[in-house]
Chains A and B, each alone.
Chain A
Amino acid sequence: DVKVTQSSRYLVKRTGEKVFLECVQDMDHENMFWYRQDPGLGLRLIYFSYDVKMKEKGDIPEGYSVSREKKERFSLILESASTNQTSMYLCASSFLTGTYEQYFGPGTRLTVT
C-alpha cells in the first residue's frame, strides 16, 4: 500500500519565520514533488526532485527552497514566511519511469499570520 506522510496536518507560523515542511514516502519512488493548492488556482508545482540532491524549479518557486538528502525524504523550506504563503501544501511521489502516477500525502494546511 502506497504511503506518503507529511510532518504536520496544520501549522500556524508568524510572518518572517523560517518554516520546514517534511515529506516521507516508503514506496522507493525516485520522484518527489511539492505543490500548493489554493481555491480557484488549483494545484501549482513549487519544486520537484528526481533523485537525491537533485531539484528542479516548478511553476512558482519564489520564496521557497527544497532539500533532498535521502531518497525517501523531501523537505520544503519557506525562508521567511509571508501571509501570501498561507495555503494547503501537498507532497507527492512517483516512479522515475513508467506510469507517471503520482501519490499524495495528506497535506499540510499552513497559516501565516
Chain B
Amino acid sequence: QKEVEQNSGPLSVPEGAIASLNCTYSDRGSQSFFWYRQYSGKSPELIMSIYSNGDKEDGRFTAQLNKASQYVSLLIRDSQPSDSATYLCAVNGGGDEKLTFGTGTRLTIIP
C-alpha cells in the first residue's frame, strides 16, 4: 500500500513569514511529486511539480525533494493571507498513471 503522509495542521504562520509544509512517502520507487493548493469548497489546483532531487523555485514557492529520505517539502516565502488553504502532496510511483494523495495540511496565514 503506497502511502503519503502529511501533518494535517492547522499550521498558522504570520503574514510575511515563511510557511514550510512537509510530506513523506513510502514507495521508494516514486518518480514524480506534486503540490496542490485547495481553497475551502474548491477543487485542487496544481502549483508545483518536482521530479529530481534538490530545489525548484517558482515565484514565492520552492519545492524541495530528497529521494534518499523520501520526503518532499513546499516553502512559501512572504506568506500572504491568500495563501491560506489546504495543501495536498501527491506522488506518482512510476508504474502507472495514478497519483497517491496525502490528506493535506491546512495552512492559515495570520495578518
A residues adjacent to B (C-beta < 8 A): 31, 33, 40-43, 45, 48, 50, 58, 90, 94, 96, 99-107
Contacts and interface: CB of A to CB of B under 8 A. Distances in A.
B97 A103 contact: no
In the A-B complex, the 3 residue pairs with the closest CB atoms: A42-B103, A43-B101, A100-B92
Nearest to A108: B43
A100 B95 CA distance: 11
B44 A104 contact: yes
Contact of B32 (A31, A58, A99, A104): A99
A103 B92 contact: no
13 contacts: A40-B103, A42-B103, A45-B98, A48-B98, A90-B43, A99-B49, A100-B34, A100-B97, A101-B49, A102-B34, A104-B45, A106-B42, A106-B43
Interface of B: 31-32, 34, 36, 42-46, 49, 51, 88, 90, 92, 97-99, 101-104
B97 A42 contact: no
B67 to A, nearest CB: 16
Contact of A94 (B88, B97, B104): B97
Given A94-B97, A99-B32, A107 B43 contact: yes
Nearest to A40: B103
A104 B45 CA distance: 7
B99 A102 contact: yes
